[in-house]
Amino acid sequence: MRERPVPKDQEIKLGEEEFIVSKTDTTGKITYANRVFMEISGYGERELLGVQHNIIRHPDMPRALFKLLWDTLKEKKEFFGFVKNLCKDGSYYWVFANITPDIDNEGRVVGYYSVRRQAPISAIRTVEPIYREMVRIEKGAGGVKQGIAKAQGYLQDLLQSKRTDYEKFALELYG
């Protein structure tokens, strides 16, 4: 098991006209990462290729959100979301991620393609407390599964009260 970087309170921002591109196979292993990805995350190509994409998963992110991500992709739909990622040196960066399944001519999913742009500060301010509460719920629940279910319920109720779903919510926040 690879040693996880210790998170520290230092934010890295993507440039105005930059975006991170990465590709994974169906199991989530990285098959391609662009140079912006490497520069921001601090990992080299050799450290990334063939490795699970969750190498950059930040502990502040609720598991329920990744569950939502995978559930959406399994339906062969694209996913939008705000994600806080962890750099090799422990600093973090916020992105607005768009992940689409790679579908071949026979309609099979052969991998995933992700474009991630800098998340606007107003959006980060909105989602941060929601994620914090979801993480709190997950930790407070008896087990991992129950935690995810509870946090998902919380998010669902919140979105329902605003008469929206996560994708619309995210797209609106991105502006």
Partner 1 sequence: MTDRSERYAYKPFLRTQINLLCSGTVLLPAGFAVWQGVAWGWHWQLILLPLAMAALAGYSHFALHRYLDAIGRIKHVLKKCRRGEFHHRVTRVHAMGEVGQIAWELNEFLDLCEAYFREMTTVFTRAGNGEFHRRALGHGLPGQMRNSLKYANLALETMKENHEQQLATRLSHSLHDLNTGNLVSNLKLCQKDMVQVTEILEDVVAIADANANAASESKAGVDEVRRSVRDIAAKVASAARIIEDLSANSQQVINSLSIITEIADQTSLLALNASIEAARAGEYGRGFAVVADEVKALSNRTKEAAVEISKILQSFGDSVDAISKEAGESVALAERMQPLVETFSTRFGEFEQASHRTIVQATNAQETSFSTLVKVDHIIYKQNAYLAVSDPEANVDEGKAIAVDNHSCRLGKWYYEGTGKERFSGLPSYRKLEKPHEGVHRSAHRALELAHQDWKANRHLIDDIVAMMEKMEKSSLEVMEILNQMNEESIARRERQEQESSQASS
Site residues for partner 1 per CB under 8 A: 17-19, 21, 23, 31-32, 34-35, 44-46, 49, 78, 98, 100, 102, 113, 115, 117, 163, 168, 171, 174
User: 33, 52 in Cβ contact below 8 A?
Assistant: no
CB of 125 to partner 1, least distance (A): 19
Smaller CB separation from partner 1, 32 or 66: 32
Gap between the Cα atoms of 117 and 172, Å rounded: 15
Q: Which three-class secondary structure state does DSSP give residue 91?
A: coil
CB of 100 to partner 1, least distance (A): 6
Q: Which three-class secondary structure state does DSSP give residue 17?
A: coil
Smaller CB separation from partner 1, 2 or 46: 46
Smaller CB separation from partner 1, 30 or 86: 30
Gap between the Cα atoms of 124 and 53, Å rounded: 22
CB of 1 to partner 1, least distance (A): 25
Strand order of the β-sheet with 92-103 is 30-33, 20-24, 109-118, 92-103, 79-86
Pure H helices in the chain = 35-41, 45-48, 63-74, 121-140, 144-161, 166-174
How many other CB atoms sit within 10 Å of the CB of residue 137? 21
Smaller CB separation from partner 1, 3 or 104: 104
CB of 14 to partner 1, least distance (A): 9
Smaller CB separation from partner 1, 20 or 64: 20
CB of 163 to partner 1, least distance (A): 7
